[in-house]
Amino acid sequence: MATLQYRPSLLTPRKGKVMWLIIHHTRCMYPQESIAIDNTKYQMPTLSNAVLEDKSGDINYNFVVEQVKNDVQVFSVKPFVYACHFDDIPTEIENHAIHIALLGSYDFKVPTKRMYETLAYRCLNPLVRVFHIPVGHIKLHSEVSIDKDNQSCPGVFIDKAIIISQVNRYVIKASY
C-alpha cells in the first residue's frame, strides 16, 4: 500500500469561509485506468498511488466517496481547512470551496441510489448545515469550470437533480 508523504508546508490553508461545495469524479485529476471504475474493492490505496505518480504530494480533493464491499463510504482525504487548487475554477469560488470527488469515472458507470444517498446524507448535508451553505451553492465541477474543454466532470451519468433532491429531503427532515 502506498503511503503519501504529507508535507504540511505544501498545504495551503483556505483564505475565506466555506461557501461552495464542488462535486467531481476522480477521473478529472487522475486518469489512471486502475481507478477508472469504482468497484467493490477499497481503492483509496490505488488513488494514493496515482497521486504519487503525479508527484503532486497530496490528493486534490477534501473528500472522496467510494464503494467498499456492499456499501458506500466517505473518506476525508485532505482536512477541509486546506484549499484545493484547480486552474479552471474562478478564484472567488476556489478560495471558498470544499471539493468532494466520487471515485472513478461517471462517464463509464451509472451511480447507484446508495451512492447518491451517501453523498447527500454523509457528506453534503453535514457540510451544508455546519457552514450554512445555500443548496444553490452545491455545484458540479463542470458548472463552475471556465475551461470549455473540461465540461464533463463529474461524468455524464451524474444527475444533479437527484443530488439536490436528496439534499433537500434531509434538510426538511432535520428541521423537525
Residues found near Zn ion in the complex (CB under 5 A): 24, 28, 141, 153
- Of the pair 28, 115, the CB lying nearest Zn ion is at 28
Q: Which is nearer to Zn ion, 132 or 148 (CB)?
A: 148
Minimum distance from residue 166 beta carbon to Zn ion (Å)? 20
Own/partner pairs, 84-91, CB within 8 angstroms, 24+ separation = 84/60, 85/12, 85/60, 86/60, 86/141, 86/145, 87/147, 88/145, 88/146, 88/147, 88/150, 89/22, 89/141, 89/144, 89/145, 89/146, 90/144, 90/146
Q: How far is the CB of 81 from Zn ion (least distance, A)?
A: 21
In the bound complex, what is the minimum distance in angstroms from residue 176's beta carbon to Zn ion? 35
Q: Provide the minimum distance between the beta carbon of 141 and Zn ion in the complex, in angstroms, as a whole number.
A: 3
Angle at 38 between CA 151 and CA 112, to 5 degrees: 80
CB-wise, 24 or 109, nearer to Zn ion?
Answer: 24
Q: Tell me whether residue 28 or residue 72 sits nearer to Zn ion (CB atom).
A: 28
